[in-house]
Amino acid sequence: MGAPTIIASLQLAARAASSGALAIALAQLLRLPYPIYALVAAVVTTDLDPARTRELALQRIAGTVLGAAVGVVLSVSVGTNPLTIGIGIFAAMCLCYPLRLHGAEKLTGYVCGIVMLDHAGAPLLYATHRLLETLLGVAVAILVSFVPKLLRDTR
């Protein structure tokens, strides 16, 4: 595939901006504690191709669920310190292969790490909020992906 055109770049930026702004507004309306994750999920999941957006959405949700689950289990069972967090990230990312979550590895490791690092006191509550906010952002990105492109790429 060639370099993106200015039209494609502008349309992707408009979709990502719309998804992000709407996700933040909804997260705030619902009084979710971490609207930043709805924003991140919406922007990262957005693509010009609706099928690609849905593919990215599934990776994002699966990676969030797996990373949060590993982070919660390890936080509760072995506690948190730099070594156990590193082990958790490694384990979470390695689990992506047999579960066929290709493309979700980095996100899975990241979620596991933040559950263990910043939320070890209440990892299950944080993981639940994280999943809700991610689902909200992903849903918004999917909805925006169905808006027809405003301009046709003529190349």
DSSP assignment, residue 148?
A: P
What are the helix (H) ranges across the chain? 6-29, 35-45, 50-77, 82-95, 105-118, 123-145
* pLDDT one-digit tens code per residue, 3-19: 668 888 888 999 999 99
pLDDT for res 64: 93
Mean pLDDT rounded to a whole number for the chain: 90
| Angle between helix 123-145 and 35-45 (nearest 10) | 40
Task: Give the global pTM.
Answer: 0.83
Average pLDDT rounded to a whole number, residues 77-85: 94
* pLDDT one-digit tens code per residue, 90-144: 999 999 999 999 889 999 999 999 999 977 678 889 889 989 999 999 999 999 9
pLDDT for res 102: 87
pLDDT for res 119: 73
